Amino acid sequence: MRILPGVILFLAFQGIAFAQEDKGQVAPGEPKVFASDHTGRFNGAVVNYTATAGETFLKDEDGKPRASIFSVSYVKKGLKDPATRPITFLFNGGPGSASLWLHMGAFGPKRVAIPSDATEDGAPPYNIIDNPLAPLDVTDIVFIDPVGTGFSHAMGEAKAEDFWGVTADARSVADFIRLWISRNNRWNSPKYIGGESYGTTRSAAVVNQLEGTYNDVALNGILLISTILDFSARAGEAGNEVGYVLNLPTMAATAWYHNALAEKPDDLAAFVEEARIFAAGDYAMALMKGNALQGEERTRIRTRLAAFTGLSEAFLERADLRVSSQRFYKELLRDRGLTVGRLDSRFTGTDFDSAGERPDNDPSFYGIDASYTAAINHYLRAELGVDFDRQYKVISGLGGRWDWRLPNSSDFYFNVAPYIGRALRENAGLRVFNAAGYYDMATPLFGAEYSLTRTGIPADRVTFQYYEAGHMMYIHGPSLEKLLRDVRAFILNGNH
């Protein structure tokens, strides 16, 4: 099966080399756990909680440790009845990314404050501040680092590669969740899982592991942030037109943001909706005609495509009305000597030169990565007392070594959305929350809508929310506030 290269925090982070494989086996010992008590004010409520950062050993049938999963949990103190308190398990994507982005960016009690206006984070020291909108007043939260990320690693006779695959990874995360709820007496608590980017792919695979067996762990909700479930749109083979259709609304939003349109409308959401209608209608039908698209019809489509993308009709004609993401990043602001970001197209970068078809790097990644890396390491070690000599692996770059095969599935089509559809059909209390950034070119909003509106997915239990930011919408102040309000409301509405 051929998967696009560079799958890091979903297929992302161009220019990052894969980390060297960790071949060393870690001898079993006792899991290290670092617990501390804290008090915070979240959404106006004072919460006394215990922060537990540490290892959980996953064991084989003989009781031998085969993996250490590092996690950080925040649990409210003094619970009389755990069934009244939801628990939310969160992870990031990659595959190969630790959970620091959601942890230090949005849902943890502390967050790193970086510029909200799509300018880069600069050099340390970075400002780590209280996060009063974190939903810790309504749910406990556990941040999970899968094997090969953070401090998590294979143990004993197991190899890291044993966990590097869609199903194997999901199984290990599901095993961790079962252990956690057993040891903390939370089997009857409302439960939510969620992820960002490939973490949404993982969420679908994990719910299949949790609810697709007789040893059921029923969930109340799935939080999907910057969603990628159906990878067909990202396949770059000639003749696959789906990606061009699904990328168009985000290209339109990007052109709108950068004032690259000949006639810019006032309302972003309305403009994106127009782009959706054109993309799924006239544009999709035009692409399906292939070389038969000629004459006045071709001219009409090209003119409208230029009006949505901000690209010249001459360029669109040379591209045969099919603009790849890489070309778009480079071409949109070429006359200004700038490229636009992939994870967040509000960001702009300056390449070595203005020629070529693809940017040198993604300015929306190198513009924020240093602050998050510094923040998680400082916070874990200085505030939570975590004491490990080994390095915290922020991005392990496992995409190229990932086993993308699904049981009983075609090697040529990768789609985990049916896992979510089945879970919704078989669990009447399950709901799905989908968060999408208008300026996310890595996992475009129309792609998530396409995946979650297929046959077999109950429409009335899927909620869509949109944010005027990119892949990590929480780096934009107003979008962070909206995201946390929306997630908190989603959890509250599920427990009435």
Query: What structural domains does the chain harbor?
Result: 33-232+369-493 (3.40.50.1820), 236-364 (no CATH)
φ and ψ of 478, to 5 deg: -60, -35
| Alpha carbons 496 and 217: distance in angstroms, whole number | 20
Distance CA 199, CA 235 (A): 19
Separation in Å, CA 362 to CA 102, 345, 347, 358, 457: 20, 9, 9, 10, 34
Q: Which residues are CB-contacts of 224 (< 8 A; sequence separation ≥ 6)?
A: 194, 195, 200, 203, 432, 433, 434, 435, 448
Rounded CA-CA distance 365/384 in Å is 27
The residues near 14 (Cβ < 8 Å, ≥ 6 apart) are 6, 342, 359, 361, 362, 365
pLDDT given at position 232: 80
Q: Give Cβ neighbours of residue 287 (< 8 Å, ≥ 6 apart).
A: 241, 244, 245, 293, 321, 322
How far is Cα 84 from Cα 343, in angstroms, rounded to an integer? 37
The dihedral through the CA atoms of 42, 381, 20, 120 has a sign that is: positive
Instruction: State residue 9's pLDDT score.
Output: 41
d(CA 196, CA 94): 9
Sequence letter at residue 427: N
CA 240 to chain centre: 24
For residue 392 the two structure tokens come to: 């915290």
Angle between helices 417-426 and 198-211 (to 10 degrees): 40
Strand positions, DSSP E, 11-109:
33-42, 45-59, 65-76, 87-91
Q: Which of 138, 223, 144, 151 is nearest to 181 (CA)?
A: 144
Instruction: Return the pLDDT at 102.
Output: 98
Pinpoint the alpha helices (H) of 332-472: 363-366, 369-378, 417-426, 445-452
Please compute, for residue 140, the number of CA atoms within 13 A of its CA located in the half-sphere on the CB side: 27
431-437 and 348-349 beta bridge pairing: unpaired
- Count of residues in the chain: 496
pLDDT of residue 274: 98
Q: Return the closest-CA partner of residue 420 out of 158, 230, 147, 281.
A: 230
What's residue 213's pLDDT? 77
- E strands present in 329-371: 339-340, 348-349
Pair 341, 68: CB distance under 8 Å: no
Give the pLDDT score at 214: 75
CA 147, 148, 149, 150 torsion: positive or negative? positive
Amino acid at residue number 252? A
Tokens encoding 440: 């996310």
The Cβ of residue 287 has, within 10 Å, a number of other Cβ atoms equal to 18
- From first to last of the 496 residues of the chain, give the pLDDT tens digit: 333 333 334 444 333 333 334 444 555 678 999 999 999 999 999 999 999 999 999 999 999 999 999 999 999 999 989 899 999 999 999 999 999 999 999 999 999 999 999 998 999 999 999 999 999 999 999 999 999 999 999 999 999 999 999 999 999 999 999 999 999 999 999 999 999 999 999 999 999 999 977 788 999 999 999 999 998 877 567 788 999 999 999 999 999 999 999 999 999 999 999 999 999 999 999 999 999 999 999 999 999 999 999 999 999 999 999 999 999 999 999 999 999 999 999 999 999 999 989 999 999 999 999 999 999 999 999 999 999 999 999 988 666 688 888 987 776 778 999 999 999 999 999 999 999 999 999 999 999 999 999 999 999 999 999 999 999 999 999 999 999 999 999 999 976 5
Give me the pLDDT at residue 233, please: 74
In a 13 Å sphere around the CA of 195, the CA atoms on its Cβ side amount to 29
Phi then psi for residue 89, to 5 deg, are: -105, 125
